């Protein structure tokens, strides 16, 4: 997969993209991530990328020209499955959405800033809008990092144990069951006996029951969606 991220602050990705799973995925050649500074496509002397909004109002708006020029130049070289804009009013990022995106070949992710981008970019270039939650960030960079991580970790060969992602929370509209590791007893607090019984059938049953109960207590809306 190739992911091209359009941003005003490419340095913000240095940390998350150079560590852990995303680093390994790039080293293995499973994903290629390119960061593009939108200012490089500005035609103004001072690399201006924002201006006042027509009709007034507080805050600045990302200009149409640099973003359009950037997207058009990238599309001349690569055919993209999606051009994604991260916006508070986009569809909510869920596990099923991440699952579908992980099956694509090439995507562009546009990070907004200020009061947003010129609406004509959304009308003529964007194919999908995604939100990571009902709140507002200072820019789309953190959301882009979240989206990239959620998608890339699902790709074959990224995780050491490829079945790990299948047992993540939300994969079956259920929250993951509690997990434990050694020692089996710590300060008198014991691991549930079934988990160290060696009875695989009972362990699977226990985990499913725990997932159902935990989801019922913490996210009953997921059970309604799944028809439980």
Domains defined along the chain, listed by start: 2-152 (3.40.1280.10), 169-226 (1.10.1270.20)
Q: Sign of torsion, CA 81 159 17 134?
A: positive
Confidence of residue 225 (pLDDT cuts 50, 70, 90): confident
Cα 185 from Cα 170, distance rounded (Å): 30
Residue bearing the bigger pLDDT, 37 or 176: 37
Cα 138 from Cα 115, distance rounded (Å): 9
pLDDT value of residue 57: 86
pLDDT tens figures, 72-123? 999 999 999 999 999 999 999 999 999 999 999 999 999 999 889 999 999 9
Confidence of residue 224 (pLDDT cuts 50, 70, 90): confident
Cα 191 from Cα 115, distance rounded (Å): 50
pLDDT of 164 higher than 60: no
Instruction: Please tell me the pTM assigned to this model.
Output: 0.88
């Amino acid at each position: 997969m190739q992911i091209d991220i359009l941003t005003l602050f490419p340095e913000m990705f240095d940390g998350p993209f150079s560590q852990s799973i995303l680093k390994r995925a790039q080293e293995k050649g499973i994903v290629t991530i390119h960061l593009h500074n939108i200012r490089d496509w500005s035609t103004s002397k001072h690399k201006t990328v924002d201006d006042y909004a027509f009709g007034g109002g507080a805050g600045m708006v990302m200009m149409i020209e640099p973003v359009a020029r950037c997207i058009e130049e990238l599309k001349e070289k690569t055919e993209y499955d999606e051009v994604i804009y991260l916006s508070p009013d986009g569809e909510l990022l869920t596990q099923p959405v991440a699952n579908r995106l992980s099956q694509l070949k090439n995507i562009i992710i546009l990070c907004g800033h200020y009061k947003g981008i010129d609406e004509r970019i959304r009308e003529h270039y964007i194919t999908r809008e995604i939100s990571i939650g009902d709140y507002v960030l200072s820019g789309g960079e953190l959301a882009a990092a979240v989206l990239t991580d959620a998608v890339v970790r699902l790709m074959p060969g990224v995780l050491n144990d490829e079945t790990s992602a299948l047992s993540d929370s939300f994969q079956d509209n259920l929250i993951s069951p509690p997990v434990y590791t050694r020692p089996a007893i710590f300060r008198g607090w014991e691991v549930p006996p079934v988990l160290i019984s060696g009875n695989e059938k009972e362990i699977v049953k226990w985990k499913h029951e725990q997932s159902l109960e935990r989801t019922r207590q913490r996210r009953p809306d997921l059970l309604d969606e799944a028809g439980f």
